[in-house]
Structure formats: C-alpha cells, structure tokens
Amino acid sequence: MTTAVLEVKDLCKTYIINKRQNNVLRNVSFRIDKGEMVAVMGPSGSGKSTLLYTVSGMDKMTAGSVSFCGRDLADMSENDLAEMRLDDMGFIFQQMYMMKNLSIIDNIILPAVKSKKNKDSRRDIVKHGRELMHKLGISEISENDINEVSGGQLQRACICRSMINDPDMIFADEPTGALNRTASDEVMEELTKLNENGTTLMLVTHDAKVAAKCSRILFIVDGNIKGEYNVNRKLSLHERERGLNNWLLEMGW
C-alpha cells in the first residue's frame, strides 16, 4: 500500500482584490504518494502556482484541508509551518532566488545550518553540501558568488539547497522556466534522478517536455483540476511527450 505524502481535500483559495472576491482555487482535491513526481499544468492564471504555495504551507488556504505527511496544515501555527518547510520540504523557484551576500555553498547549506533537526556538525553539513553539488555536477562553483555563474548552474545549486535537509517532498515552481533548453534538460535530468532515488516531487510547468518526465500530470483550469494523466514511464520520452500532448489537446490546451 502506498503512503500519501500530500493529501488535499476541497481546497479553496480566495483573494479579495479591490473588494472583489477572486476564487483562485475551487474545491481542489488530489493526493501525491511517496515517490511520485507530479506535474501541475494549466493555462496562465489557472491557479497552478497558488496551488503549489498553498499546499506547501507558504500561503494560507481559505477552506478545505491539506495534509502533509499526516499533519493537517490548517492546525499548524506559522512557526510550525516554517519548521516544516525547513525540515521536511524543499523548494525550487523559477527565478533561482538566493541570498546575495552568500557564496553558492553557503546558500546551499543555509537551511541545514538553520535546521534544529539536523544535528550534523558544521563540517559534515558542508561535506554533505559539496556531495550534493558534486552529484549535480557543479562542484567547481561552490565558492562563487551567485552572479558569477550561469542560470543552469544556479538552478542546480537551488536544487542542492532544496535537498540539503533530505526533505519528504520537493516543490518546484516552473524550475526550468528561466532556463534555455540545454540547461532545462540538465535540470530536469537531475530532478528525475532525484525522483528515481525516492524523493517525492510536485512541480508546476508549462512545458510538456518537462511534464512528460513526471509520473502524473494534474491539469488545472480556473482553479479546478480538470483532468489527471498518468504517464507510462516505460515508454520513451518522445512517446510520452506525444501522448501527453494529445491528452492536453483533449483538455483544450
């Protein structure tokens, strides 16, 4: 029996803009099991990023429930949510945000240094950080400033940072959105490897080629999950992409 890492039921998110109610998410329900790699797709403004930020506890839900590793986010305080993001979740953003005054390695190890759960010595944390960088092929930029490296390298550094505390799940908001095709392929290759090694991933993307590397796709329109597509990962990438494109056409993409 598979274990649910993330379980979302009737999730609603409403923004009030200029006294007008804007229902961004409407009764969204889904679950992500351990080891899954789920892509959220949909047109611009459909609520993909809001869904990601709400289920990861970064934003507050208006109604419904989100359970992460058995813990109901609605019952958790701001501090508990922060602790959960630090210890049990990893994040990758489209814009490759990093702390400007820190070197790449320091940016990567920062969550581990901050984490109370992580009892490793500072030396071991640095060692772990370097191992991750080595795995992702960016060892040579560890002491660099963040503006001395390419976008692809920076995003891979962000992936290292998201993994430094061995999270239960990684959330990625358009991780390849700001990268060229080569860099994008490299980053997706790393994320796929991560998933193959057991890490659960939820990512938001516009790119069918990226989504085709996932195990499941949630298609969201106007704040509702309109359809779900299971990818047969035994097929070649090309075949997966074609199948996905056909499905997306059916969905009205």
Partner 1 sequence: MYLRILKKDLKRKKTMNVILLLFVILATMFAASSVNNIITVLNGLDYYFEKADMSDHFVLTLNHNGDEIEEFLNNQPNVKDYRREDQLFFNYSALTQNGKKIVDLGNSVLLLPIDNGKLNYFDKDNNVLKEVPEGYAYFTGSLISKAALDFGDEFQTKLGDTELTFKYAGIAKDAFFGSEMFNNPRLIVNNSDYEKFMADEKVRENNSGIVFYINGYDKNTLESDLSDIPTVNFNKGISVVKTSYIMNIIVAGMLLIVSVCLIIVSFVVLRFTISFTINEEFREIGVMKALGLRNSSVRGLYLVKYLGIAVIGAFTGLLLSIPFGNALMKSVSDNMVLGNDNALLINIVCSIAVVLIILLFCWRCTRKIKKLSPIDAVRSGQTGERFSKRGLLHLGKSKLGATKFLAVNDVFSSPKQFGVMTVIFTVCLLLIMGLANTANTLSSGKLLPLFGAQESDAYITSTDMIAKVMTGEVTYREMCNEIEKKLADNGMPCKVTSEALLFPTLEANGKKASPAFMYNRNTNSSDYMYSEGYAPKYANEIALTTPVAEKLGIGLGDKVKLTLNGKTDDYIVSALSQSLIQFGESGKFNENADIPEESIKQVLGFQIDFDDSPDKAKTKKRIEKMKDIFSTKYVDDTDDFVMHCIGTDIKDTINGVKLMVILITAVIVIMISVLMERSFISKEKPEIALMKAMGFKTRSVIGQHILRFAIVAAVASVISIALCLPVTKLCINPIFSIMGAINGVEYNIKPVEVYIIYPIIVVAATLTGAFFTAIYMKTINASDTSDIE
Q: Would you say 218 and 55 are in contact if contact means Cβ atoms under 8 Å apart?
A: no
Place of tokens 């429930």: 65
With CB under 8 A as the contact rule, which of the stretches 20-28, 66-74, 122-130, 209-217 interacts with partner 1?
A: 122-130
Beta pairing class for 89-92 and 37-41? unpaired
Residues 16-55 that bind partner 1 (CB under 8 A): 49, 53
Distance CA 5, CA 204 (A): 17
Rounded to the nearest whole angstrom, what is the least distance from the CB of residue 49 to partner 1 in the complex?
5
Determine the straight-line distance between the first and last CA of the chain, rounded to whole angstroms: 34
Residue nearer to partner 1 on the CB measure, 206 or 242: 206
Is 78 one of the binding residues for partner 1 (CB under 8 A)? yes
Provide, rounded to whole angstroms, the least separation between the CB of residue 236 and partner 1. 34
| Choice between 109 and 159, CB closer to partner 1 | 109
For residue 3, CA distances in Å to 32, 122, 130, 183, 199 come to: 9, 33, 31, 33, 13
Site for partner 1 in 156-185 (CB under 8 A): 161, 173
Q: Which of 96, 79, 81, 59 has its CA nearest to residue 172?
A: 96
By the rule CB under 8 A, 234 interacts with partner 1: no
Binding site for partner 1 (CB under 8 A): 49, 53, 57-59, 78-79, 82-87, 89, 91, 93, 95, 97-103, 105-106, 109-111, 113-115, 122-123, 125-126, 129, 145, 147-148, 161, 173
